[in-house]
Structures are given as C-alpha cells and as structure tokens.
Chain A
Amino acid sequence: MTALVARSAREAPVDDVTSPPDGRRPGTRGRRQGAFGRMRGTIPRPMVFILGVVGVLVLLGGWWLIAATMGGDAFLLPTPPETWDAGFELYRSGDLVRDLWASVRRIAIGYGISISIGVVVGILIASFRSAEAFVEPQVALLRYIPASALTPLFLLWLGIDEAPKIALIIVGTVFFNVLMVADVARAVPQELVNAGYTLGAGRLKVLRQVVFPYSWPGIIDVARVNLAAGWLMLVVAELLAAEEGLAFRVVRAQRFRAVDTMFALLIVFAVIGLVSDLGLRWLRRRTAPWSEGSR
C-alpha cells in the first residue's frame, strides 16, 4: 500500500524502518492493550479478587509499618496484633456482643422506619403533583437543620433511653431517603405507567405493581448510600448518652486511654458497614436480577 498522505519533510528518515515513530511494533498496526491496564476493560475474576486482597493488605501493612516505626507506643497507635488482642478481650468479656446488638438494634429500628417513610413519601411525591407541592417545601426547609444539633433537644424530650437515639437516626436520614427515593420513582418511564393503565390497573395498582417494582433496585441503592448517615447519627447519639453500644464503648475506652480497644471498635464499625453493603447488594441481585447494575 502506498501512503494515503504525501510524506512531509518532518517524517522519520526512510532507513528507520525498524522502529516506527508512533512506538508500534513493526509489522503491526495499532497499539495492543493488555488486560491489566485496559481502560474500562474487564479483567479476569480471580484478578479482581487478588487485587482487592492485595489492596487491603497494603492498607494493613501501612498501618503496621507506621505503628511499629513510631516506637511501638501502643498508647497512641496500636499495631494490628495489639488491636486484635484488645478486640478479642472485648469479645471475651461479652461487652462486644452486647454493644454490637444494642447498636445494630437501634439502626435496624431507626433506619428501618426511615427507609419505610422514604419509600412511601418518596413514591407519593414522585407520583402526585399535589403531594409534591405539599411536602417538598417542608423537606427543603427541614433538611438543612443539622440533625446532630437536635440531639440535646431529643434528650430533653425523650429521655435517655432508646427513643432519642432512634429518633435521631430517623431525623438524620429520612429527608435524604425521601428525596432520593422520589428521584428514583420519578425515573419510572411514563410508558410503563401508561401500559399499566391501559391494561386496567387503577392508580393504587399502578403504584404497587408498576412504580414500586420498577423503583425497587434503586430503593436498595438509596438504602445502601444513606445507611452510612444512619450510623453517623447513631454514633452521635451514643457518644452523648448511652449505657451500651459501640460508640459508647469507644468513649469508655477513651477514658482509659485504651487506644487499642478504640481501634478494635473502629474496625468493627468498618466490618459492619462492609457486611451490610454486601448484604444489600446481594438482596438487589436476588430480588431484581433483571435490573441493570445488579451485579
């Protein structure tokens, strides 16, 4: 083949045929991309797993290295084994299980109520202009009040039992849940709603049989994202007034300058987050395999 474009004077000399100027190998066209560094490409599943494990090990190793080089002063930065020991001690004493259960129960009740309100109100304001006009200004006003600032008020109103903690989790997440579920429900294609109507479904049936199932995977995603905010509110509540709970235990450990215990508790928080995230993803895959993004 002759070149399609006339050779310019700037081009490489004719005798330099072994290494073309664009870095490609002689006898080939284009640049080959390996699996590892291909942009937006897929890589083999084992490689995904190995990369993930290596990443966590790097994190762990970095922590260990820093802890060890700071003179092994367990007071300020414990090493991973010290943290493990402290965590195990916490487990053996029975405190860990009790605190874990207390915190998880608060989240389950508080966040469960919050997401339920989010689903009902979110779908309503996405579906009815009247509901939107009524609710949206309220939410717009209330959502900018920092929920954590309400803690003292809730303690005054509701005492120091479970009620203020659960209330705080609800208030701290419900507005996000409402607005984000509404966005999800607004994305239901009009054609699906129309199909429901022309097949004889009434409004309630369309909401339950068309809008809700279509929104379901999106609702799980919303629940996943805002769950972190739920834990944040729980920690705020437990830091101020609690007799059990993971964050209460962190404060308690601080009083004894037990940094290793505090670290162990932080890792418990991280693991709970990871487990609940994986659990919700699993739920999405199981209940909405038809949905894009259920992987």
Chain B
Amino acid sequence: MSGVVVVDVNKSFPGRRGGDAVVALESVDLHVDAGELVCIVGASGCGKSTLLNIVGGLDTATTGEVRIDDDLVVGPGPDRGMVFQGYSLFPWRTVSENIAFGLECAGWPKARRRDRVDELLGVTSLADFADLHPGQLSGGMRQRVAIARALAPEPDVLLLDEPFGALDAQTKRSMQDFLLSVQARTGATVLMVTHDVSEAIYLSQRVYVFASRPGRVAEEITVPFGASRGPRVLRDPRFLDLREEIEDLLHPVIAPS
C-alpha cells in the first residue's frame, strides 16, 4: 500500500479578459499514509476538487508536485481510482460491465475479469443488480457501482470527490458505513473531498480543513476515534466539539466593523 504526498502545490487560472489570475490553490502541503482515510473539508469553491483532480492527474499544478510512493504524478492512471459526485457511470454498460471497464483496459483475461467483478459485486452487495443499467438504479446504488468500478483494477489510492453529495440523508449514512466497511476489508488508502463536516469526522483518521480564496490548508486535525465507527461516535462529546471547531474554521465569525 502506498501513500500520497502533496508538496507545495499552487494552482492559478488565467484571469478573464486580461484580468488578474485567479489563485485556486496556494502552497498546499498534505499527505495520506498507506491505509489511511483522510478527508479534505471546505466550502464550495475553495479548490478542494481541483486539488483532488491534480492528485488524480486530470489537472496539473502550476507549481509543486504530487508523489505516490515517490513516483511523480504526471497524468491519470488506474493506480488512482476516482469516484465523482454522480453521473460518471457509463449508461450503455450494465453494472458488471461498468465494473469490468478498468479490467478490460488493463488487459485482464476474461475468466479473471469475471471473478474480480463477482468479488466486487459481493463486496458492494450488488450481485442482484449485475445486469441492470445505471438508469435503472437509485442514486445510492449508482455510487456503490462507481466505488466498485474504481476499486476493480486494484488501485493504490482511492480518490473520492463528494461521492455522497447528491444523496439523501439516510442513503448517505448507509453509504458512509459502506465505505468504512470496504476500506476495512481492502485496506485502501483513501483521500476524500467533502463539504459535510460530520461526514469528514465520521469517516477519517485525519481531516484537512481548507480555507477559501485562495484555497489553502487552514488546519490539520487528527480525529481521536479508533477504527470502529458507529452511531455512538456521532453522540460522542468529542465529536460534537470537533464539529464545532471545524465549523468555526470554515465560517469565521466576522467582527462588526
């Protein structure tokens, strides 16, 4: 298992009509150790998704670098499975065919491919839906397929971009537990972006709180709960304190002038 290291990443977009460049990310340093689940939490527009895309190789940093096991990230690859907020399943492929996509790209022989797909259908409790198309699934099930698809080619790192952002509260909770169980079983290294503070605390070992304009790490917080999370954690006073602390970081009280 491998870790992710982000070193002094800056990202700026050219301004419109010759205006000033927009700084999306400013000297971001962070790391995810092997087998760790780390969340980046921040308001929308703080550049957290941009950072995740840079780690995924879909975007490039203006300066700075991302390394995975000392290898420099220069583009996207199946070693970093990504899950997006929604609508990223291939609608013409069935659930099994979606999960098999990465395996086809990697040139797995058919029999091995089928075994791996079956295994993931089991892990994600999707066996009964293997032959359905994404259009026939609920939002939560689609995201389970997306996670299974990203896990299929055995990535070193799983990158999640607000994967549960479009789900209703009940589905979201069960998907969070699902993610924890998948991570416990596979030992995956996970970097996840979210704007949901409770979700970040509930899931992660560590949380990076992002500040906006320019996007930067405002605080790194270690979550004091062990590996086994459950509803009890949500009522732990430390959980509530932590949530308040992060909320204050995200929405600093503006002093009346």
Q: Report whether A290 and B56 are in contact in the complex, using a CB–CB cutoff of 8 Å.
A: no
Within 8 A of B (CB), among A182-198: 189, 191-192, 194-198
Query: Which residue of B57, B78, B87, B92 is within 8 Å of A189 (Cβ)?
Result: B87
A200 contacts which chain B residues (CB < 8 A)?
77-78, 102, 105-106, 153
Tell whether A39 is near chain B: CB-to-CB under 8 Å: no
Q: Report whether B133 and A290 are in contact in the complex, using a CB–CB cutoff of 8 Å.
A: yes
Tell whether B149 is near chain A: CB-to-CB under 8 Å: yes
Known: A194-B82, A290-B133. A199 touches B105 (CB 8 A): yes
Q: Report whether B135 and A199 are in contact in the complex, using a CB–CB cutoff of 8 Å.
A: no
Q: Report whether A198 and B101 are in contact in the complex, using a CB–CB cutoff of 8 Å.
A: no
Query: Which residue of A196, A198, A291 is within 8 Å of B91 (Cβ)?
Result: A291
**B 133-152 to A, binary, CB cutoff 8 A, 1 in contact else 0:** 11100000000001001100
CB closest residue in chain A, given B106: A200
Tell whether A143 is near chain B: CB-to-CB under 8 Å: no
Known: A198-B76, A200-B102. A191 touches B87 (CB 8 A): yes
Tell whether B47 is near chain A: CB-to-CB under 8 Å: no
Query: Which residue of B57, B87, B101, B134 is within 8 Å of A199 (Cβ)?
Result: B101
Tell whether B178 is near chain A: CB-to-CB under 8 Å: no
Tell whether B215 is near chain A: CB-to-CB under 8 Å: no
Q: Report whether A194 and B91 are in contact in the complex, using a CB–CB cutoff of 8 Å.
A: no
A195–B82 CA distance with the chains assembled, in angstroms:
7
Known: A194-B76, A194-B84, A290-B135. A199 touches B153 (CB 8 A): yes
A242 contacts which chain B residues (CB < 8 A)?
none
Known: A194-B58, A200-B102. A213 touches B77 (CB 8 A): no
Q: Report whether B92 and A199 are in contact in the complex, using a CB–CB cutoff of 8 Å.
A: no
Which label, helix, strand, loop or mixed, suits the secondary structure of the A interface? helix
**A 197-220 to B, binary, CB cutoff 8 A, 1 in contact else 0:** 111110001000110011010000
A189–B92 CA distance with the chains assembled, in angstroms:
14
Q: Report whether B58 and A197 are in contact in the complex, using a CB–CB cutoff of 8 Å.
A: yes
Known: A197-B76, A199-B78, A199-B105. A290 touches B92 (CB 8 A): yes
B134 contacts which chain A residues (CB < 8 A)?
290
Within 8 A of A (CB), among B30-86: 53, 56-58, 75-78, 80-82, 84
Query: Which residue of B80, B87, B89, B133 is within 8 Å of A198 (Cβ)?
Result: B80
A286–B66 CA distance with the chains assembled, in angstroms:
45
**B 78-115 to A, binary, CB cutoff 8 A, 1 in contact else 0:** 10111010011111100000000110011000000000
Q: Report whether B150 and A199 are in contact in the complex, using a CB–CB cutoff of 8 Å.
A: yes
A191–B143 CA distance with the chains assembled, in angstroms:
14
A288 contacts which chain B residues (CB < 8 A)?
92
Q: Report whether B105 and A194 are in contact in the complex, using a CB–CB cutoff of 8 Å.
A: no
Query: Which residue of A198, A209, A214, A291 is within 8 Å of B150 (Cβ)?
Result: A198
Contact surface of B with A, Cβ cutoff 8 Å:
53, 56-58, 75-78, 80-82, 84, 87-92, 101-102, 105-106, 133-135, 146, 149-150, 153, 159
Known: A199-B81, A199-B153. 4 other contacts (CB 8 A): A189-B88, A201-B105, A288-B92, A290-B135
**Can you offer 14 A-B residue contacts whose CB atoms are under 8 A?**
A195-B88, A195-B146, A196-B101, A197-B58, A198-B77, A198-B80, A199-B81, A200-B77, A200-B102, A200-B106, A201-B101, A214-B90, A288-B92, A290-B134
